Structures are given as structure tokens and as C-alpha cells.
Amino acid sequence: MTEDFTGSRILLVEDEESLAVGLEYNLIEEGYIVNWANNGREAIDLFEKEKFDLIILDIMLPYVNGFEVAERVRKSDPQIPILMLTAKTESGDKVKGLEKGADDYMTKPFHLQELLLRVKGMLKRKSWYTSTSQKQPVYKFGKNEINFKTLNCLHGNEKIRLTPQEAMLLKYLVEHKEEIVTRKELLENVWHLNPEVETRTVDIFIARLRKYFEPDPTSPVYFKSIRGAGYTFEVK
Amino acid sequence: MRGKHSLFYHILIFIIAQLVWLLLLGIWIYWYVSNYIVFEKVGDQVSPQLIYDVQNALPFILGLILLIGLSFTTSLIFRHLNVQLRITELYDNFIGNVTHELKSPLASIQLYLETLKQREVPPEKRKEFIDFMMKDADRLQSLINSILEISAQEQKKLLQNYQVYNTYSLVKELIEESCEKFRVAKDSYQIKGEALCEIVASKDALKIVFDNLVDNAVKYSTQQAKIITSVICNSKKVTILFTDLGIGIVANEQKKIFNKFYRIYNKEIPNVKGTGLGLYRVREIVKAHGGKITVLSEGESKGTTFKIEIPAYKALSQRRLKKLLKNE
């Protein structure tokens, strides 16, 4: 099934007028509906007033910077995809951006095609996630209870809040229960093959899930590694 | 954070070095004095006719001078090292800022070129895109110029074309141009002044001065920038007061803003873009005109006034006039 994302609403937060106008034109040509905010304050206002499917966010913004915008957005909407777009190249900024809740990160100057593909990939991911999590928002295994809609989880009595990326990975594993999933498959379907994401990333995320949900993360019973192949999610 | 650590490390090394050489000095004095006493006692008995007054004090005094010299030099080196460290820190900041400033217009140009290549863009949009690209190319050019022209030689080249101008009309023309460039609405700026005074100035250089001042006024205002410029003359000098109603500058930063790479931070307006070279260049240009620039601000959110004083045309000596106007 080829999905159609035309009509998706994008909030474009960029203070450089020339870049914003160019991006707006291209996104509209792709069939998206675009709202442009030229500073952080306006971005938060717009986000609170209207509903969006994706945010393209610059970091160096007047009044409120992109990191803070991402943080504010994440508080009220844990699922909306955020693509950070910035001229900063230090890897510290990238890590900070991802920590504050961005799902992806592109540095200026960028290629138009790549940006459009990433936007589409993120929308695809979101729509897959929403459609599957609506069918069955709460999932239980062992002592764990996961709500894929609110991203709130319980591990025994302990409360955990997943990041959207963690939730998507978990969702994918749950859907492919008892199957062996390779790292490449996870990168393609959960990360939509982001060239900047290495296979190490998958391992880091699996380690995080183990920490949250395994009775003993050092000898996992749910998230098992299959040597030379990948991972498998098993519930007995 | 790392800067503070390395500074602490350097101070520690400095103190240890000082202690070591003070210890050596102590040993040297002890050695000299004890030798002297021994020599005095033994010398008297062995050969009473030996004279050792002035000649023997000489190495001691010379040694002391040498040690004082050494201590002075160490302090000097330490001071220079500190300055160097501060410059390195500022320079790192500068590189970060410049990278950002260079990449934004470049990203925009690349975006438009790729758009034009990949899509059928209607002619009116095409024109708009080309205008944006030209504006970005201009921005890149002026940024590259301001980086390269820090060197004194480049500055000199810019300052070659001196002419006699009526201050009011010159300031009016330059302010109007700058306000248009940085999108200050016509009713948001005023120019007051007296018409009858002249200065010898390089118009290209003063354009950079007012571009920077207007740009700063826009960048450091939370609302639409408001600018009031007044020109005041007396027989000796022309004073140009450039006032904005922006966020103002706290007292302890007022002197520093003219330093190379220095940038102020205000939590009301974080992330102001810039290189930290603007006001440095402004000061250099005003200095080259034989004038000076100072800043007055009652503090945060009280607005800022830049006061530029340039000698009046009539007050310039014949020699200076000749020197300034020789390239005409």
C-alpha cells in the first residue's frame, strides 16, 4: 500500500526568511499544509492553538531556542515527530537535540531531496504507529504494562515514560513477537533507514528497553539477542 | 567550563614555579652569605691584607637584579598567557558564530538552486527565489568582508576615499539606507540635527558604521526597533547621537562591547546572531576619522545611545586635511 501523506500539517519553525520561504514552497508542492513560525515564542503559540503532524525546528531562534521548543512540545505531545534543522554541527548539539525530544537531526546546508524523504519517513512512521496503537493501546507482558498512546508504562509499581523512538521500537518488536528481527530490519522500519543512525543505535535502544522491562537486564528473558542475526521478543 | 579549569591549572603551575624559584633564591642567598662569612673569618687569618668590600658585594647585587628580572619576566609571561587564553576562548566562540552565519545563507542558496533544478517553478516565483539568492549572496559577501577586513591594511583601503560632507545630509542618507536594508519602518526612526556643519569622512566606511548600529538596534530590540539620531555641531567637533530603545547594556559590559569578538548575552533575547566583529570595526573606523565612540545606557531594558564624536572640517589642521584628502 502506498500511503498518501498529502494534507499533513507541518509546523515550520525557522527564523531565516529566505530559507523558510524556500522550504515552505517545497513542502506545499509536496502537498503538505505548512504554517511558518519565525521565532520560538510564535512556534509554541501556534503549536498550542493548532494541530500538527510534524515539526521542522531550527535551533538558533529568537526568544525561545529550538531545544526549549522541543521540550515544551514533548510535554504535551509525546508522539509528534520533530525534525531538527540547524547550522550547528557540534555533536554535543545533536545529542542534546535528540535528548530534548527531536526524532531526527539535519545540518545546514542540506539536500532538498533528503529533507523531503526524511519528512515523509517520519510521517510514515507516525501514521503506522498511530494506526497500530489505536487498535490496541495497552499491552501487557510479565510484570509490565505499556500504554502506546500515552507512552506511560508500569514495571511492577515503577512508572516509566518512554520516548517516542523507544515506543516505536517496542511496538515493532511486539508486533513481530517470537520472530527474529535483524538490526537492518529495525533500522529500515523503525528508523526508516536514517543514514546517520548506525547499528549501534539499535543496540543502545534495546539496552534501554531491557533496563526498563527486564527483571534482570543482564540476563534478559524478553528481549533476547540472537548471535549474528539480531533480536527477538519472547513472552512465555 | 573547560576554560576555567585550564586557567586554574595555569595559575597552579605559576604559583609552583614561583615557589620553586623563591626557594632557589633562598638557597643562593644562604650559600652566598655563609661563604662570605667563612671567607671573612678564614681570609683574615690566612691573608689579612686581602680587600673584599665592594668587589665581593657586586656578584650578590648582580644576582639579586637577575632574580628580580626573572621574577618580573615570569609575571609578564604569565600575563600574556592569560590574555592569550582569553583570546583563544573568544576566538572559539567567534568560529562557532561565523560557521552559523556562513551556513545559513549557503543553505538557503543551495535550497533554491535544488528547487529550481528539480521543479517547474512559475516565473514570478522564480524571480522571488533569485532575489532571495542574491540577498543571501550579499550577506555572505559582507560577512566574508568583515572577517577579512579586520586586517589593518584592508581597513586602510576602505578608508581611502575621504571627502568633505555636510554631516546632516550624510547621516540622513546613510541612516535611511541602513533602515531600509534592515527593515526598520519609516515611522520608527527619526533624524534630528543642524545642517550647517561639515566633516571629512569616508562614506563607504561610515556606511559600515551605521549598518552595524542599525542592525544591532534591530537585533537587540524585543519589539519593532525605534531609532533616534541627532547631529549636534560646535566649532570643534560634530557629535552624532544614535539612540535605540532596545534592551540596553549593563554598565560592566559597556566597555567590552567594542572588543574584538565580544558579544553580550541577554536572557530576554537569546540566540542573537552575529560575529562579535561589528562594533570592533565601528570603533576602528571612527578612530580612523580622528574621532571616538562611546556608549551610554542606563542599564537593562533602558535603551542604548552611541555617541560618535568626529572633528569638524573647520577644526582640522591643514596637515591632517592634506593627509586625508590626498587620494581625491
Q: How far does the CA of residue A152 sit from the closest CA of chain B (Å)?
A: 34
Q: What is the mean pLDDT of residues A61-85?
A: 86
- B115 with A109: Cβ contact below 8 A: no
Q: What is the mean pLDDT of residues A122-134?
A: 78
**pLDDT above 70 for B3:** no
Q: What are B139's three cell numbers?
A: 550577506
Which pLDDT value is given to residue A1?
A: 42
- A111 with B100: Cβ contact below 8 A: no
Which pLDDT value is given to residue B1?
A: 41
Task: Compute CA distances B273 → B31, B104, B147, B302, whole Å.
Answer: 63, 11, 15, 21
Which pLDDT value is given to residue B40?
A: 76
DSSP-based three-state secondary structure for A7: coil
* A–B interface: beta-carbon pairs under 8 A: 74
pLDDT band at B123 (very low <50, low <70, confident <90, very high): very high
Which pLDDT value is given to residue A11?
A: 95
**pLDDT above 80 for B268:** no
Give B195 or A48, the one with higher predicted confidence.
A48
Strands A152-155 and A144-147: antiparallel
Distance CA(B93)–CA(B82), nearest Å, equals 17
- The residue type found at A98 is L
Q: What are B29's three cell numbers?
A: 642567598
Distance CA(B164)–CA(B280), nearest Å, equals 25
Task: Compute CA distances A1 → A78, A87, A124, A128, B108, whole Å.
Answer: 27, 36, 12, 12, 35
DSSP-based three-state secondary structure for B304: strand
Strands A33-37 and A9-13: parallel
Which pLDDT value is given to residue B44?
A: 67
- Ordered by start, the domain boundaries in chain A are 9-131, 136-233
State the complex-level ipTM.
0.74
Q: Using alpha carbons, select from B92, B104, B308, B99 the residue that is nearest to residue B208.
A: B308
The C-alpha torsion from B120 through A12 and B267 to B103, rounded to 10°, is -30
Q: How far does the CA of residue A105 sit from the closest CA of chain B (Å)?
A: 15
- The residue type found at B245 is L
Which pLDDT value is given to residue B143?
A: 81
pLDDT band at A74 (very low <50, low <70, confident <90, very high): confident
- Residue of B101, B108, B132, B275 to mutate, testing the A interface (most A Cβ within 10 Å of its Cβ): B108
Average pLDDT, chain B: 82
Q: For residues A129 and A81, is the Cβ–Cβ distance under 8 A?
A: no
> What angle separates helix A112-135 from helix A17-29, to the nearest 10 degrees?
60
Q: What is the mean pLDDT of residues A120-124?
A: 86
Which pLDDT value is given to residue B253?
A: 82
Q: For residues B261 and B146, is the Cβ–Cβ distance under 8 A?
A: no
Q: What is the mean pLDDT of residues B268-287?
A: 80
Please classify residue A59 by burial: count the beta carbons closer than 10 Å to its beta carbon, then call 0-12 exposed, 13-18 middle and 19+ buried: buried
Q: For residues A104 and A119, is the Cβ–Cβ distance under 8 A?
A: no
**pLDDT above 70 for A223:** yes
Q: What is the mean pLDDT of residues A1-30?
A: 87
Query: Which domains does chain B carry?
Result: 1-148 (no CATH), 161-319 (3.30.565.10)
pTM of the model: 0.64
Q: What is the pLDDT of residues B44-81, one digit of tens each?
A: 676 655 555 545 667 777 877 887 888 788 878 888 88
Q: How far does the CA of residue B91 sit from the closest CA of chain A (Å)?
A: 16
Q: What is the mean pLDDT of residues B148-173?
A: 76
Between A115-129, A209-223, B205-219, the lowest mean confidence (pLDDT) is in: A115-129
pLDDT band at A204 (very low <50, low <70, confident <90, very high): confident
Q: Does B315 contact A at CB distance below 8 Å?
A: no
The b-or-e profile of B117-147 (16+ CB within 10 A means b, else e) is eeeebeeeeeebbeebbebbeebbeebeebe
**pLDDT above 80 for A130:** no
- A16 with B108: Cβ contact below 8 A: yes
Percent of chain A with pLDDT over 90: 25
- The residues that bridge with B165 in the sheet, in sequence order, are B199
Closest residue in chain B to residue A18, using alpha carbons only: B132
pLDDT band at A32 (very low <50, low <70, confident <90, very high): very high
Q: For residues A79 and A130, is the Cβ–Cβ distance under 8 A?
A: yes
- Contacts of residue A217, defined as CB under 8 A and 6 or more positions apart, other chains included, come to A207, A210, A211
Which pLDDT value is given to residue B327?
A: 53
- A19 with B270: Cβ contact below 8 A: no
Distance CA(A23)–CA(A17), nearest Å, equals 10
CATH class label, A9-131: alpha beta
| Domain A136-233, CATH number (from 1.10.10.10, 1.10.3720.10, 3.40.710.10, 3.40.50.620) | 1.10.10.10
- B269 with A63: Cβ contact below 8 A: yes
**pLDDT above 90 for A6:** no
Distance CA(A85)–CA(A126), nearest Å, equals 19
Q: For residues A70 and A28, is the Cβ–Cβ distance under 8 A?
A: no
**pLDDT above 80 for A132:** no
Between A90-94, A177-181, B147-151, the lowest mean confidence (pLDDT) is in: B147-151
- B271 with A26: Cβ contact below 8 A: no
Most confident residue range from A87-96, B124-133, B175-184 = B124-133
pLDDT band at B258 (very low <50, low <70, confident <90, very high): confident
pLDDT band at B2 (very low <50, low <70, confident <90, very high): very low
Q: How far does the CA of residue A220 sit from the closest CA of chain B (Å)?
A: 40
- A63 with B135: Cβ contact below 8 A: no
